[in-house]
Amino acid sequence: MLPYRTRLGSPLAFCLFTFAPAFAFAEAPLHERIDQAIAAAQPDFAHHAAGPASDAEFLRRIYLDLIGTIPTAAESRAFLRDSSPVKRQTLIDRLLASPEHARHLATVLDVMLMERRRDKYVPHAQWLEFLRSSVAANKPWDQLVREILTSDGADSKTRPAAKFYLEREAEPNLLTRDISRLFLGTNLQCCQCHDHPRIDDYKQAHYYGLFAFLNRSSLIVDQKLKMAVLSEKADGEVTFQSVFDPAKVTKSTGPRLPEAPPIKEPAVEKGKEYLTAPAPKARAVPRFSRRALLGPSLARADNEQFKRNIANRLWALMMGRGLVHPLDLDHSANPPSHPELLKLLADDIAARKFDMRGFLRELALSQTYQRSSEQSSLSKEPEAASYTVALLKPLTPEQLAWSLMQATGLTDAEREALGKKANEAALYARLSANKAPFVRTFGNPPGQAQEFDARLDQALFLANGSIVRGWLAPRPGNLIDRLTRLTNTDALAEELYLSVFTRLPSAEERKEAANFLASRSKDRLAALQDMAWALLASAEFRFNH
């Protein structure tokens, strides 16, 4: 442990940062500059900051954040025993390169971009595979966004990417809202009718500039292609009035990103406006497509909002809260908690050509990320935006499902059953259907962002439902099976706590486990199940801490 702590910095180092001018170490790696910026934001930072997370705390956290599940008991044992000074970095790199990471980040992006809208036009599996292979290839974020905003769904090779448009029925107001929220971090919805009354930065002209990329497009079920695709007209100008304007002045705009110059549109010869002219039940393709310009105009390194948005969203993913919070209200009256840091992150991700993997790696390496979540005092909840203590993150429905499968040993049993064929894809194929009831019970409603909510139907699902209960039935290789074969209660407690909590039990906990089993010696199997359930249902399991 000691070498590691030394490397990441002692309390003394924290103090030094406090007095150091911001960005004194301009050439330092990003993760160090993150820590400098966080520390610099609060005069007595070191006094408030929690110490580094323990190995066990870090291990569970990094697994959940990078691959969406907890480690196996064996992986935990190995990591905790590992004495390498660079074991955390090694683990981060191993996880980021794993197929599990590609699947996990693809799922995160799916939930973020589609918000669990129901499949109507593009099967979810195809879309997820598009995202998964993109992440696996470390496709830059700007390229991914351009692909999403450019596909019209007509070409089978790029059709999955069109899900973003198609499942929103290509409705231009809905798309304007969601593109502004999800890709620019600015919810322009209020600007549909007038300049935002309280957010000076958000203008009605911004809304309609974005809208003008999309208003000529519509969803059409093309008779020849036998599927829903985007169709686009060659005409249709955008005009708007403010509902607050007594004079009712009508303004107009061409396609245009907020604060960007107008886009020059080519003159098209009259009569030659279409490559495929509009016809009933057939898609129209204009010679000049406004929509085709949206991706290239928006997903650019010189688009300040675009790079701030992705930097902020990935930060929130790892740290539990956006520097700009809420994630889609980036404006001057709602400044980031750490303005310079957000600028630094935004510039960095653009400079690394939107390499998400490299960026996540830097976040994971930071002390800020690797800080403990234990509060020094419970009298006052620490200011979330100060990052003095690592924030608790509720497990997403997917993380909860996968972690329960891992903790109960369902995953181990399946891996064992697959034998040599056990790889990420095969395991995913065997187990992924188990996610559905968790998504149904814990997931956000279609079309709404995921938010934490603890409800009694969820508690009933975990307490009395047949799913978790089924996973606690003994089966070769699973948790209960392993526990039943351990006669030494100490070893049993270790196996249980390592499997469920990714840590070793304290002496007190070992004693409690022994007492519990002793009190239920007549129904030992049920006692083991009940004890395992109690840990699975505890707050320590429900949160990524």
Partner 1 sequence: MWCSYACNSAEHGISRRGFFASAAASALSLGSFIRPAFTRELNKQQKRVLMIWLHGGVSQLETWDPKPGTATGGPFQTIATSVPGIHICELLPYTAKIMHHLALVRGLNTAEDDHGKGAYIMHTGRRQEPAMKWPHFGSVCAKLLGDSDNPLPGYIHITPRGNGGVNSQDAAFLGPRYASVALSDGHAPANLDRPAALTQVADQQRHEFRMHANERFLSSRRTAQTEAYTHSYDQAAQLMRRRDLFDISKEPPAVIDRYGRHDFGRHCLMARRLLEGGATFVKVMHTNYDTHHENFDFHIEQLGEFDRPFATLMDDLHDRGLLSSTLVLVLSEFGRTPRINRNFGRDHWSKAWSIALAGCGIKGGSVSGKTNADGTAVTDRQVNGGHLFHTYLSALGFNSKKNFYVEQRPIPIADPKASPIKEVLA
Site for partner 1 in 16-75 (CB under 8 A): none
Q: Please, which residue, 174 or 225, has the CB nearer to partner 1?
A: 174
Nearest to 401 by CA among 317, 481, 462: 462
In this structure, the dihedral spanned by the alpha carbons of residues 495, 501, 502 and 505, taken in order and rounded to 10 degrees, is -60
Residue 496 token pair:
């249980």
Q: Please, which residue, 424 or 509, has the CB nearer to partner 1?
A: 509
Q: Which of residues 161-190 bind partner 1 (CB under 8 A)?
A: 171, 173-174, 176-178, 189-190
Q: Which of residues 324-353 bind partner 1 (CB under 8 A)?
A: 326, 329, 334
Residue 72 token pair:
């196996």
Q: Which of 136, 193, 260, 431 binds partner 1 (CB under 8 A)?
A: 193
- Give the count of beta carbons closer than 10 Å to the beta carbon of residue 139: 18
- Give the count of beta carbons closer than 10 Å to the beta carbon of residue 135: 22
Q: Please, which residue, 421 or 440, has the CB nearer to partner 1?
A: 440
**Count of residues that bind partner 1 according to CB under 8 A:** 72
197 part of the interface to partner 1, by CB under 8 A: yes
Q: Please, which residue, 13 or 537, has the CB nearer to partner 1?
A: 537
Q: Which of 48, 300, 511, 520 binds partner 1 (CB under 8 A)?
A: 520
**Rounded to whole angstroms, how far apart are CA atoms 370 and 387?**
11
Q: Which of residues 380-439 bind partner 1 (CB under 8 A)?
A: 381, 392, 394
Q: How far is the CB of 535 from partner 1 (least distance, A)?
A: 6
Q: How far is the CB of 200 from partner 1 (least distance, A)?
A: 12
Q: How far is the CB of 23 from partner 1 (least distance, A)?
A: 31
- Helix ranges (H only) for 161-218 are 163-166, 172-184, 204-214
**Rounded to whole angstroms, how far apart are CA atoms 224 and 203?**
41
Q: Which of residues 464-483 bind partner 1 (CB under 8 A)?
A: 464-466, 469
Q: How far is the CB of 542 from partner 1 (least distance, A)?
A: 5
Nearest to 423 by CA among 414, 436, 434: 414
Q: How far is the CB of 227 from partner 1 (least distance, A)?
A: 22
Piece in contact with partner 1 (CB under 8 A), picked from 2-10, 24-32, 253-261, 373-381:
373-381
Nearest to 199 by CA among 258, 112, 263: 258
521 part of the interface to partner 1, by CB under 8 A: no
Q: How far is the CB of 460 from partner 1 (least distance, A)?
A: 4
Where would I find the beta strands (DSSP E) of 381-461?
393-394
CB 323 within 8 A of CB 312: yes
Site string for partner 1, 127-166 (x = CB under 8 A): ----------------------------------------
CB 354 within 8 A of CB 348: no
454 part of the interface to partner 1, by CB under 8 A: yes
Q: Which of residues 237-276 bind partner 1 (CB under 8 A)?
A: 241, 243-244
Piece in contact with partner 1 (CB under 8 A), picked from 62-70, 289-297, 303-311, 461-469:
461-469
Q: How far is the CB of 448 from partner 1 (least distance, A)?
A: 7
- Chain-centroid distance of CA 149 in Å reads 20
What b/e string do you get for 435-469 counting C-beta neighbours within 10 Å, with b at 16 or more?
bebbbebbbbeeeeebeeeeeeebeebbeeeeebe
Element (H, E) at 112: helix 99-114
Q: How far is the CB of 266 from partner 1 (least distance, A)?
A: 30
Q: Which of residues 270-299 bind partner 1 (CB under 8 A)?
A: none
Q: How far is the CB of 523 from partner 1 (least distance, A)?
A: 7
Nearest to 263 by CA among 287, 293, 227: 293
